[in-house]
Amino acid sequence: MATHYHSNDIQLEHVDIDGVTTRVATLGAGPAVLLIHGWPECWYSWRRQMVALAEAGYQAVAPDMPGFGETDPLPAMEDYNAGRIGQFLLALCNRFGGTPATIIAHDWGATNTWNFALQYPDAVARLVILSVPLRPPTKVPPTEAYKRHFGERFFYQLYFQAPGKAEVAFDENPREILEKLFCSPDTPREEPRLGKTLEGGGWLDRLGKPREQPGWLTDADLDYVEQAYRHSGFEGGLNYYRNIDRNWELMAPFADRSIDCPTLFIAGTRDNVLARAGHGELDAMMTPRIPRLSIRLLEGYGHWIQQEAPDAVNDAIVGFLSETDPRANEAIFQ
């Protein structure tokens, strides 16, 4: 008889991962599937995928990444780089299920997982990446590229670069930034206080207050994530952004390396991260480095895809894992 799971069955524990006390959520029994969250999130963003994976016969494993939720921060801002985070992910894989691992990742989790797969190709068996495609490296450091592109226009990742600035604003009222970010593309908003030029304040005043919450986000959901950030603060999560130039340097030796495992990319067509790129553009961008790539775009959805469209995302993930299961006689990519 099949076991039925509920999000209330998710177990939370604190374990040592490469010297970092890490909160890990688990559900189910079977081969481990790791779920790596982004910003500003924690393990909780995967709650619906964990149930689907457990019911499909997997053990879903979702950590709070270093500096998020109830996982310890790293000692210094400079530690949140691709090399150190890659070591953390390798230790996480070895703690839960071993390698080669199956990894699902979103947002900064996607960036960290792309970098991990390039650094440790033998450590990944299958990848499901949400929202953030693998882009060719820029010719100059990313912050320089952003300054050239945006000029006098405000760009949040450049705003994040100065330590002690954005986190002060966000820590003062975590719920405000979470409410303003966790929206669907069609969520009605009030006019923001500030425009798109650099002059004025920070990011909060450039995000219009939502007039209503999207249907996929309850007060209880916001309460949980708010409490996670009241515990951790925002500094750790922002420190990932403060290492984008360092990551550009660290990943340069891997610029010509390919990711050869079966890989599924899922995104909403209205996700701003895609910069309006469609299926053809994404395929042309990524397939040269990811030859076993499959792309699934979900029409009308935005950036928080696994929460906005959980059923469609779960179906795509479980189908992909079934088709690429190494225990099966034939896989779709063979």
Q: Where are the alpha helices (DSSP H) in the chain?
A: 47-55, 82-95, 108-119, 142-150, 156-159, 166-172, 174-181, 219-232, 235-241, 244-251, 279-286, 305-308, 310-323
Cα–Cα distance measured from residue 77 to residue 18, given in angstroms and rounded to the nearest whole number: 17
Cα–Cα distance measured from residue 5 to residue 28, given in angstroms and rounded to the nearest whole number: 8
* Number of C-beta neighbours around residue 227 at 10 A: 16
- CB–CB of 331/324 below 8 Å? yes
Coarse DSSP helix, strand, coil percentages of the chain, rounded to the nearest 5 percent: 40, 15, 40
Active site includes 223?
Answer: no
Length of the chain equals 334
Active site includes 171?
Answer: no
Which residue in 107, 149, 223, 325 is the catalytic one?
Answer: 107
Which residue in 122, 303, 311, 315 is the catalytic one?
Answer: 303
Contacts of 260 (CB under 8 A, 6+ apart): 121, 291, 292
Q: How far is CA 310 from CA 29, 60, 239, 298, 301, in A?
A: 21, 15, 29, 11, 11
Q: Could you give the residue numbers annotated as active site?
A: 107, 303
